[in-house]
Amino acid sequence: MRKNASRQLIVNGERLLEDALKDMGRHLEQPTRRAFLQRSLSLGGLSLLSGCSIVDESSVEEALMKVSRFNDKAQAWLFDPQRLAPTYPDSMITRPFPFNAYYDEDEIREVDEAAYRLEVTGLVADKRAWTLAELRAMPQADQITRHICVEGWSAIGKWGGVPFASFLRRVGADLSAKYVGFKCVDDYYTSIDMPTALHPQTLLTLTYDGQPLPPRYGFPMKLRMPTKLGYKNPKYIQAIFVTNTYPGGYWEDQGYNWFGGS
Amino acid sequence: MVSDTGLIHPRWVRITHWVNAAAVITLATSGWRIYDASPFFPFAIPTQFTLGGWLGGAIQWHFAAMWVLAGNGVIYLAGNLISGRLGRKFFPWSPRACLADVLAALKGKLSHTDPSHYNMVQRAAYLFVMLDSVLLVLSGLVLWKSVQFPLLRTLLGGYEAARREHFLAMAALVAFVGVHLVMVALVPRTLLAMIRGR
């Protein structure tokens, strides 16, 4: 079983890297919108849309994006702020828990704890930067939940840290704002809706399996949300900001659904 | 029995049939691309048969066509129930009579003279594909929103089980489509009936 899991891990890692390299390559070659349009319409043997000019390709792309925005609204409507994701016993934790990012494992960022400060900006009363020690001094919670990747695979892990709702209240965030955005040390970025930010299982994660969060899982901190897909759970968080202006995200800007809930 | 007007399939059946066909093709081909991102069987689907170009594109197609399949499916089922077509066309049905029709078909003695009348094998196949589509939608809901539908998730055995059920239900639907197309090729006027209604 374990052997299988680690083999699958390697396969996933390779695929992620491949996808990431492809995406980066396309970024360099052409504007994202153009790249997305070509990707979404390469239908291979059935290329009835890209093969002829009856259907305007950019209008198909726009229509799909509109449906994706509609799906954001549908998911916000379906989202129950009190409904909890299932939790699991210790024995069901996936070991080793997979590493995944838009780059390969040998590019993992190492953050210096002594120099690290978490920036908090935007619609918050207290814009003071935080040290890890200060965050560790706040009341902690932990959870064993299922991480579901947009690729389909899932893995169960154990995370501990500060409930994000209590952090947001502590910094005096405008809880009626629409978005909470994240900027990460590895240049990743993403954003979430306020109801999910305030969900009881949304955790500003400082530990994994009872140990300080290792670099491969996002040291110094990750936002863990069992109610959202993996790409919505940022690692290596450098800055948190509260805003009413749509911040997008690394994958979301390329076509992944923004709400990305489960 | 062909009705007085000679109509085999009313207009709403023909429209929902072709809308469903388009939705199923879109969902299957984009779904294969999504499966390829993390296959749980020891094979992947060749990308030339898939829709979307990459995982993000495939998901956009999949999560657009799902509304078409579900909405069209509700219209189709409601139409069948309200008009009484479901009871008229697909029932009565019995395993014994179905077996008899299978044997008749194998001997080349199954009649196709009245295309508005479904034999027992057709009834079984169409009823199966309706139930299979319902399973596809329900397992799809668990994959899309596993936290928000706890009862459904538990009934289907959890998220990972739902992935496999969704795939196997897809495979069953694709197998149905394969047989369905062979049958249409053997009796081409059924295709005309589904286009023109008669």
Tens-of-pLDDT digits for all 262 residues of chain A? 344 444 454 445 555 555 555 554 444 443 444 444 445 444 443 444 444 455 567 899 999 999 999 999 999 999 999 999 999 999 999 999 999 999 999 999 999 999 999 999 999 999 999 999 999 999 999 999 999 999 999 999 999 999 999 999 999 999 999 999 999 999 999 999 999 999 999 999 999 999 999 999 999 999 999 999 999 999 999 999 999 999 999 999 999 999 999 9
Domain assignment present for residue B55? The answer is yes
In a domain, B103, yes or no: yes
Q: Is residue B32 within 8 Å of B63, Cβ to Cβ?
A: no
Best A18, A55, A78, A224 member to test B by mutation, with max B CBs in 10 Å, is A78
Cross-strand pairs, A193 = A179
Contact B49 A45 (CB under 8 A): yes
Quick check: is A160 in a domain?
yes
Closest CA to A203 of A217, A215, A187, A189: A217
Residues B138-195 have pLDDT tens digits of 999 999 999 999 999 999 999 999 999 999 999 999 999 999 999 999 999 999 999 9
User: According to the model, what pLDDT value does residue A34 have?
Assistant: 42
Q: Decide if A60 is inside a domain.
A: no
Peptide bond into A96 cis (omega under 30): yes
> Which of A44, A63, A71 faces B50 most closely, judged by CB atoms?
A44
Whether residue A11 is contained in a domain is answered as no
- How many domains does one find in chain B? 1
For A35-44, B46-55, B118-127, which range has the lowest pLDDT when averaged over its residues?
A35-44
Q: Do A64 and B163 touch (CB under 8 A)?
A: no
The answer for A 151-180 residues in CB contact with B (under 8 A) is: 151-154
Q: Counting one residue from A and one from B, how many pairs have CB atoms under 8 Å apart? A: 109
- The H or E element containing residue B188 is none
**CA A172/CA A99 separation, integer angstroms:** 33
Q: How many whole angstroms separate alpha carbon B29 and alpha carbon A3? A: 31
Whether chain B has a CB inside 8 Å of the CB on A50: the answer is no
Q: List beta partners, residue A222.
A: A205
Residue at A228 is within a domain: yes
Whether the Cβ atoms of residue B119 and residue B126 lie closer than 8 Å to each other: no
What CATH number corresponds to the domain at position B155?
1.20.950.20
State the DSSP code for A124: B
B65 contact A CB<8A:
no
Question: How many CB atoms lie under 10 A from the CB of residue A141?
Answer: 14
**pLDDT value at position B24?**
98
Quick check: is A21 in a domain?
no
Strands (E), A22-164: 119-122, 141-148, 154-163
Relative to beta strand A179-184, strand A237-243 is antiparallel
Q: Is B16 on the interface with A (CB under 8 A)?
A: no
Q: Report whether B169 contacts B132 (CB < 8 A).
A: yes
We report the CATH number of the domain holding residue A143 as 3.90.420.10
Helix, coil or strand: residue A105: helix
Question: In the prediction, which pLDDT does B113 show?
Answer: 77
Min Cα separation A126/chain B (Å): 33
Q: What amino acid occupies position B125?
A: A
A77 touches chain B (CB under 8 A): no
- Assess B53–A contact: CB distance below 8 Å, yes or no: yes
Q: What's phi and psi for A4, nearest 5 deg?
A: -60, -45
Which of B29, B60, B165, B170 is the best substitution to test chain A (most A C-beta atoms within 10 A)? Answer: B60
| Mutation target among A9, A41, A43, A232 for the B interface, most CBs of B within 10 A | A43
Number of domains present in the structure of chain A:
1
Q: Which pLDDT does position B2 carry in this prediction? A: 45
B145/A contact by beta carbon, under 8 A? yes
Q: Say if residue A195 is exposed, middle or buried (CB neighbours under 10 Å; 0-12, 13-18, 19+).
A: middle
**In a domain? residue A15:** no
A55 vs B63 pLDDT, higher one: B63
In-domain check, residue B5: no
What is the domain extent for residue A161?
77-254
pLDDT of the residue at B4: 52
Q: Is residue A150 part of a domain?
A: yes
In a domain, B4, yes or no: no
Length in residues, chain B: 198
Burial of B182 (0-12, 13-18, 19+ CB in 10 A): exposed
Is there a domain that residue B184 lies in? yes
Domain that residue B109 falls in: 11-196
Q: Is B50 on the interface with A (CB under 8 A)?
A: yes
Who contacts A204 (Cβ-Cβ below 8 Å, separation ≥6)?
A: A135, A161, A162, A163, A164, A167, A221, A223
Contact A148 B146 (CB under 8 A): yes
Cα distance between residue B101 and residue B98, in whole Å? 5
Amino acid residing at B57: G
Distance CA B77, CA A168 (A): 47
CA B197, CA B76: separation in Å to the nearest integer? 16
Q: Report d(CA B8, CA A185) in Å as an integer.
A: 65
